Chain A
Amino acid sequence: MADVSIKPHWFYILLALADGDRHGLAIARDVQGLSDGAVRLWPATLYGSLDDLRARRWIEELEEHPEDESERRRYYRLTKSGRAVLADEAERLGRLARLTRARVRTGEAR
């Protein structure tokens, strides 16, 4: 399935949530770290994506807040299907990475 490829920042958001439940701000910080500072999620993009991902049921919002955390923030958790999408994407990226390495090598050999 060629159109499985998901938006890069969706991938990073899912990736951040794969490590555990987080609120939006934490996701933004995580993503910046995961991408070595290359991906900075701006507010509307981040929260818009969170809504989109929730609509696709790849993530869900926690009913109750973890203790000793601010009431205001909304927490998100990766769903089963979200985890599957992430795994698929990792698989796809892995295939691409292997293919890339192979081509780069044959290019060198010429």
Chain B
Amino acid sequence: MKSAYRALLRLAPRHLRDAHGDEMEELFAERLATARHRGPLAAAGVWVHAAADLVRARRTGVPLTVPIDERTAHMTGSDIRYAWRSLLRQRGATTLVVFMLALGIAANVAVFTLVNGLFLRPFPFPNPDRLVYINTAAPKWNLDVVGINYPDFDRWTKDQKLFDALMTYDFSAFNLSDGTGAVRVRGAFITRDFTKVLGIEPILGRTFTAEEDQPKGPPVVILSAALWRDRFGGDPNVVGRAVRIDGKARTVVGVMPAAASFPGELQLWMPMAGDPAQPWESYSGDAIGRMKPGVTVEQAQADIIRAHQPIWDARDKNHIVTPFVKPLHDTFVADYRGAAKAIGGAVALLLLVACANVAAVMLARALARRREMGIRLALGSSRTRLVRQLLIENVMLAAIGSAIGLAAGRLAVAGLLRLIPDQFPRWAVFTVDARVIGFALLSVLVTVVLFGWAPALHAVGGDLRSAVTTTTGGTTGAPRGRRTLWLLVGGEFALSAVLLVCSLLLVKAFDRVRHVDPGFRADHVLLATIPLSEGTRPKPEQWFAFWNDLEQRARQIPGVDAAGMITCAPLDGCHLGNFFTIENAIPPPDGKNPVVLMRMASAAYFPAMGIRLKEGRFLADSDIAKGALTNDQVRRGTAPVVVVVNESFVRAFWGDGATGAGRRIKFNGPDTQWIPVVGVVADVKHYGLERPMRPGIYFPLSVDPRSNMTIALHTQVEPASVTPALRDLLRQIDPEIPLVRPRTMETLIEQSTALRAAFSWMLAVFAALAFVLAIGGAYGVATYLVTQRTREIGIRVALGARTNDIFRNVVASGLGVVLVGVALGLAGSVAVAGQMGDTLFGVSTHDASVLSLVTIALLLTALLANGLPARRAARIDPMRSLRTE
């Protein structure tokens, strides 16, 4: 207890502490002992009183020897003026400090604005914390997210007890025509309660009724505000109007506000009209629920699982899924979490480096002002006042720096969003709000504390006599100050090393990702999706005929040398999974039957995409039947087909190094027939360059044709230049069919890695900034110290020291601390990189080339930063330096 008070005594003015410390302690102990008899509250009271007493003494307990004007409590106004003058006097240093602070704060504000928009801002719906995401998983099939089966959803809706409402939705795209031509619009099939779940109201008309949301319900549609404005001229009488969607007439019943466009950008909504009597028809779509007030996510999940139990009990065990419930917000930001953490950490390190740098500059300034401070102390100025003055200077610097930083940070965010607009979710809003301002203020506070302590401590902490007797620029006084300076520089180099190593590892990982073999040829390939209206072409035979015709005619386009059709193009985000029975399959290592990516392709698709053949042969034109085959014909073997599989398929089912061609597979279920595998092709990185590939299978185009396919063109010319010809061709065939998202394979690959690219570049920029700051810091400190030693060096030279010795001496004193800093930084960076896991994409955390590159770069620049001042020192003319007094 006594020692605690002793520590507290530091609050009191020094003269009091020195003269009476022991007795003060004694008195305190007596008070505490008496109070203890009256209980802990009284004892606590003694502590509070004692602390307040010490603080008060700081303000009033100034001995009478101090001039009257210094004793008044209200000096802040004059302090601010004084601080301002002092900052103006050293314009160079002030500019430098403000610039470094602005840099650190700008980077932090920019990153925080992103983090705020993604993670902290609530969704634009009432009580967003009560919204949860619901979907099903199938551990048995190794699937984390299966999709919602409508009959299951219907059962949950009826039996749940803890939700206000549930909705399920399934994104789709539609051809909207209004007489003048067709446009492709994004929309969703949605259940009637969606307004209730999200807590929104239509701005015009109404939402769907129960009658509309059932099989064969009235054909209706709700428009988004944007679509209503752009396509319907904001017509106030739009409700009741008929529009044609996918060739079918539908009546507009309402218009939704912009907030309803969730989670993607949606332009219209149609009733899901699901049929609960049609079990396991399909698993697709997602669900969102609004929990009743006070319900936790765990309770909500238990509720859904309970409602799901009868389905579980009744259903064929091949179709078993387990529902799960997650906070809605988490679901949509999961992709960004890792990146945000890493960038947040990096940017905090950058701020630390900036603060260390500012602390070094300020400390050098303070040391240079030791004599001024000493004289003021001797004249009776109180240490409190001097510290306060320094503090005010610091706060002013930080305020100016952060004001500039805040503005620059805003610009940086705007620039970043322009650079990669597609990589952030639509609902995220990145503007300055109270949280961003609060964060900026907090960083200012932290900054002041971080860079302010060293100068304040050293400026007034030293003993008075030595400060006054120190002659300016003469001797090397204040060894403690010099030690702190070197400590700061060493710290900067350590932190920079961490940042540099991590960012270089990421750049290397990015490079590795970009050089992943995608399994196809990326150059000179154009993709475009073509959706057929099922209203005008209702039958699969019509679709099949259309695709065959389109492929033939696309091949005639000048500049095109191959054209092929595929149901599901790589990197497009689409997936159609299925399960097969495999002849002579090895047992799966984890007992789970892997899901197979199923695609239907034309024979020309493989050459058009440049997919490599590994074994056997590709699908040939002769493998494609003359007419469309139904799923049932293929399953039962009434129409013979052959398939091609990928390497992952062979590996997963038949083992490493096994052959695939000549083996057989079949669909699951009774009465299915074997289908021969005629070839094995290289894995196409369907889910992204960084994602592992699943087993995949290609069926001939004639099998179970789709109304929506993607055409792949291989061109001899710049692929994008073929787009108009393709659009013309489509218009010739049918003007009602839109050409959707024509895109080159190269842009698709670029987009798929854009988030990683942005992430790596941001880190690299931060690391480069930290690096520059560290070099600047080392240079500044070395220069300052050389200036301080001018006289000493002059004497040495006069006494016969050689230029080389002086040079070596100065460089060595600076380089030692950098060496230690870099060594610590490298050790730290290996530990930090260990936390980055998958982000490194297999690059080793102690990658030799990266570590050695960083070491060499830091040491070389440190050598340079110390060498320039050292050279200046070595050239000191002894006569002049001795006369500097």
Contacts and interface: CB of A to CB of B under 8 A. Distances in A.
B23 interface: yes
Contacts of A51: 15-16, 19, 61, 63
A55 B64 contact: yes
A51 B335 CA distance: 67
B61 A48 contact: yes
Interface stretch (B47-55, B122-130, B598-606, B743-751): B47-55
Contact of B64 (A28, A45, A46, A56): A56
A47 B54 CA distance: 11
B23 A73 contact: yes
Interface in B17-53: 19-20, 22-28, 30-31, 49-50, 52-53
Contacts of A50: 20
B57 A44 contact: yes
Contact of B23 (A23, A40, A42, A45): A23
Contacts of B12: 44
B180 interface: no
B38 to A, nearest CB: 13
Interface residues of A, number: 20
Nearest to A73: B23
B53 A45 contact: yes
A88 interface: no
B626 interface: no
A101 interface: no
Contacts of B91: none
B172 interface: no
A46 B57 CA distance: 10
B465 interface: no
B65 interface: yes
A52 interface: yes
Q: How large is the interface on B (under 10, 10 to 19, 20 to 34, 35 or more residues)?
A: 20 to 34
B341 interface: no
Given A25-B30, A42-B50, A55-B65, A47 B23 contact: yes
A25 B63 contact: no
A45 B50 contact: no
B19 A43 contact: no
A72 interface: yes
Contacts of B60: 48
B415 to A, nearest CB: 55
Nearest to A52: B64
Interface string A8-48: 00000000000000011100100000000000101111111
B872 interface: no
B56 interface: yes
Contacts of B56: 44-45
Contact of A74 (B23, B50, B53): B23
Given A42-B50, A48-B16, A25 B23 contact: yes
Interface of A: 23-25, 28, 40, 42-48, 50-52, 55-56, 72-74
Question: What 5 A-B pairs are tightest by C-beta distance, nearest first?
Answer: A44-B57, A42-B53, A43-B24, A48-B61, A47-B20
Given A44-B16, A47-B23, A51-B16, 6 more contacts: A40-B49, A42-B50, A43-B20, A43-B25, A43-B27, A43-B54
21 contacts: A24-B20, A24-B27, A25-B23, A25-B30, A42-B49, A42-B50, A42-B52, A43-B20, A43-B23, A43-B25, A43-B53, A44-B12, A47-B16, A47-B23, A48-B16, A51-B19, A51-B63, A52-B61, A52-B64, A56-B64, A74-B23
